[in-house]
Amino acid sequence: MSAPSTGTDVRVPFTELQDLLQAIFQRHGCSERVARVLAHNCASAQRDGAHSHGVFRMPGYVSTLASGWVDGQATPEVSDVAPGYVSVDAAGGFAQPALAAARELLVAKARTAGIAVLAIHNSHHFAALWPDVEPFADEGLVALSVVNSMTCVVPHGARQPLFGTNPIAFAAPCAEHDPIVFDMATSAMAHGDVQIAARAGQQLPEGMGVDASGEPTTEPKAILEGGALLPFGGHKGSALSMMVELLAAALTGGNFSWEFDWSGHPGAKTPWTGQVIIVIDPSKTEGERFAQRSRELVEQMKHAGLTRMPGERRYREREVAEEEGVAVTEQELQSLRELLG
């Protein structure tokens, strides 16, 4: 959904926004390396209109760093486990710097073996997932990633929340076209969008969540305060969310969404879990043909009447931002300056 925040938009050059965010991360205890990676991620989400994971997230990052829940200086430990397998202990830091530390090895393995897995554990992910996969498709690779979050979703047929909002992101190259990318929570709605709706005083569509007594509700605050989200698509989304728990936590050695206890760290917001990224080199079997076949698929979908491919809205927003600057509200800009102190 990613509804924009209310207020008057100003346009800020991407690098200016990124530098401001990096300065905030450093000001609140991140190393220069970690701050650069997180700032790029967050500024990119804002640029692409992925508002639930753009600058909206900055107060959450800052309160989490202040709580001591996450290590903003962590040095990830990369292990070359097998010909197609890399493991990273993020050392209680963020997942994106762990990916950055292992990326070169992961790509080399995928190009050699045709496929490689990156398993990250002991990591915090508080961001959109597409920035983790899209760059692989820019290099001609196919990538799939999953990350689990924090207990706030009731499995289909259950009575109590257990799963996280557990997104799945996928990216594939497409000839003479931007990569095909989708990135979606397996909950009916991302937790971030529920927070945005609560802040804006908006009701949600039906079927998103339940209140503290397990009754269906369209009131975002009822979901956030003791209630829970539902999976998208009933038992089907629930099965995908279960798969995310298995891959991102059980496979990596990370926490399931219900396994960490942040109650001793008031202000902590970042889930301490795990992440998997699977990278495939399609040139091993299909040469350049894979990207052509992707293109054919997109053309057929459009021919069938499709007017919006997943990812297209972001690419459009990105194009506008490249021309005019990244849209932020005056209020958001002011809050960012206050976070800089």
Q: Give 89 or 193: the residue with its C-beta nearer to ligand NDP.
A: 193
Q: Give 165 or 252: the residue with its C-beta nearer to ligand PYC.
A: 165
- Residue 267 backbone class (left: φ over 0; alpha: ψ -120 to 50; beta: rest): left
Q: Would you count residue 149 as binding ligand NDP (CB under 6 A)? A: yes
Among residue numbers 295 through 334, which ones bind ligand NDP (CB under 6 A)?
308, 310-314
Length of the chain in residues, anyone? 341
Query: Who's near 234: CB < 8 A, 6+ residues apart?
Result: 156
**At closest approach, how far in Å is the CB of 65 from ligand PYC?**
15
**At closest approach, how far in Å is the CB of 114 from ligand NDP?**
26
Q: Would you count residue 237 as binding ligand NDP (CB under 6 A)? A: no
Known active-site residue 53: yes
Provide the 8-state DSSP code for 31: -
Known active-site residue 121: no
The DSSP-derived string for 246-271 is IIIIITTT---TTS---TTSTT--S-
Known active-site residue 67: no
Q: How far apart are CA 111 and CA 134, in angstroms?
A: 17
Q: Give 71 or 183: the residue with its C-beta nearer to ligand NDP.
A: 183
CB 161 within 8 A of CB 294: no
Determine which residue in the list 193, 245, 281, 332 makes contact with ligand NDP, applying CB under 6 A: 193
Cα 160 to Cα 44, 97, 258, 287, distances in angstroms? 35, 34, 12, 48
Q: Give 22 or 270: the residue with its C-beta nearer to ligand PYC.
A: 270
Q: How far apart are CA 215 and CA 196, in angstroms?
A: 22
Q: Which residues are catalytic?
A: 52-53, 193
- Positions touching ligand PYC (CB under 6 A) are 52, 126, 149, 165, 185, 190-192, 271
Residues of this chain that interact with ligand NDP (CB under 6 A) are 1-2, 50, 52-53, 125-130, 147, 149, 165, 167, 169, 182-185, 190, 192-193, 271, 308, 310-314
